[in-house]
Structure 1
């Protein structure tokens, strides 16, 4: 399973999922070794198809770092943290998440839109 790290050490993903709010944006940055990129993307696409069918899902985009970066970033919009938490807790999603190799590092964080 991929290693989960926090972008903000003072705010765990668990704490974020427990806060009732929405709509939300999940930004999940992945460090993927070059030799694993194609396999990672194949598994991610399977996960994405599953997530797109879940209640509360709004949209999803995957981005790749430039200049031969090893970073990939998923940006997904959900109606609420509750909907995202239910999707994450689904046994089918958990099974797919366990398939990611241990040398993948994931940095998930939940954001709310604010007025600039």
Structure 2
């Protein structure tokens, strides 16, 4: 079973789900015992394929930390918090969390783009 920890204790994912923003980016850090990496990847792949079929899903990319780290970062883009909330709280998705290795810890957090002149758009 996956253990959830807030990336920002002032705004855990459960409170972020009540916000309204569009589009949003989910940044999700995973840590896992090195022996459980294959199990984490299998569970994540299953979940990512399920999320891909949900309304409002745009894209996702999984990254693995380099070196001896057993940390992963998932970056997923959604049309809105409402779309992500519907998928994230869906009973089918929640029950699939049991497939993650017991050593797996996740830190999901939602972000909205910020406009900075001459650098990036919101």
- With normalisation by structure 1, the TM-score equals 0.95
- Dislocated runs of 4+, deviation >2 Å: none
Q: How many residues get paired? A: 116
- Tell whether 2:29 aligns with 1:29: yes
Map of 1:83 onto structure 2 = 83
- With normalisation by structure 2, the TM-score equals 0.91
Q: 1:63-102, aligned counterparts within 5 Å?
A: 63-102=63-102
Map of 2:43 onto structure 1 = 43
Q: Is the 8 A contact 2:29 2:107 kept in 1?
A: yes
User: SS of the counterpart of 1:48?
Assistant: helix
Q: Aligned-pair RMSD on alpha carbons?
A: 0.9
User: SS of the counterpart of 1:18?
Assistant: coil
C-alpha distance in 1 between matches for 2:78 and 2:94: 18
C-alpha distance in 1 between matches for 2:47 and 2:111: 21
| Gap runs ≥5 in structure 1 | none
Highest CA radius of gyration, 1 or 2? 2
| Gap runs ≥5 in structure 2 | 117-122
Map of 1:10 onto structure 2 = 10
C-alpha distance in 2 between matches for 1:90 and 1:53: 13
